[in-house]
Amino acid sequence: MAGDIDSQLSERQNDTVATKIREEMARRRISRQYLADQAKISLSTLEKALSGHRPFTLATTIRLEEALGMRLRGADGHDNPPLPSHGHASEDFGAYSRAAVGWIEGRYLTLRPSFGDPKAIFAYCTEIGWSDAASNLRFIEKERLDAAFTQQGTVAIPNLSGHIYLATNTSGQHRLIIISRPSITGEMYGILTTLQAGRGAQLTPVSAPIVLIPMGSAPDAQFGRIASDHASYASYLAYLKRTVEEPFAVFLPGPTVVD
């Protein structure tokens, strides 16, 4: 088994994998450093393989497939054997089967308050889909105005809490979204907890309401920073207000400090 993992791809396979990676990086607008971090490989290893100076090993290719949530090798049954698909996530993600969570796969208009403008709403796309390589659901963000901060990670759906967890772990730095199961019209409401960039290198923990709306329910979705004079602002704001008014999420006030 160890020998198989350490084996190198053929020249044809290597060219195919390198091309797919470059195309996917361009489509998602992510850097080589970001991809290397997500795949837990060195930037040097990635750059040498992409330039053809060193072939991809099977182990490196699998890590990249897991990071991108997509197949990089072909599936012709000969030179490129298909990835094993167990169709069942581990207990760490809720022990769900693919058949049981197919309803969540798709593209979602994602709304949260803008961190840069307190009067605006930040809108982008979140894609959720099954990864054969990881044997669980994964998500990736797209159409972000701040593409350098695009997130991707795992999806946990435990039966105990009745909620859904979208988690990003980048070198031990976490971001977490906790959302409800879909409403009758398909929206999922909840809380985003992350770090907000401040002055210089300062980062501050911050939580905010967040909503994922099936793209089929938002055919005219607008992305980016939606200001109060934007045509979509009123409808987007109504979604965010519902998060706390229903309430799908509660933001507790701090205790009163008395001198």
Residues 6+ positions from 103 with CB-CB distance below 8 Å:
182
Query: Which residue, among 18, 83, 7, 5, has the nearest Cα to 46 in the 3D structure?
Result: 18
Pairing mode, if any, of strands 121-131 and 224-226? antiparallel
Q: Which residue has the tokens 């009163």?
A: 256
pLDDT tens digit sequence for 109-165: 999 999 888 899 999 999 999 988 788 999 999 998 888 788 899 999 998 888 999
Percent of the residues in the chain that have a pLDDT greater than 90, as a whole number:
42
What pTM value is reported for the model? 0.67
pLDDT (0 to 100) of residue 85: 43
Residues 6+ positions from 6 with CB-CB distance below 8 Å:
57, 58, 59
Report whether pLDDT(74) > 80: no
Query: Which residue, among 104, 89, 102, has the nearest Cα to 180 in the 3D structure?
Result: 104
Percent of the residues in the chain that have a pLDDT greater than 70, as a whole number:
89
Distance in angstroms (rounded) separating the CA atoms of residues 106 and 126: 8
pLDDT tens digit sequence for 224-234: 999 999 999 99
Distance in angstroms (rounded) separating the CA atoms of residues 105 and 93: 15
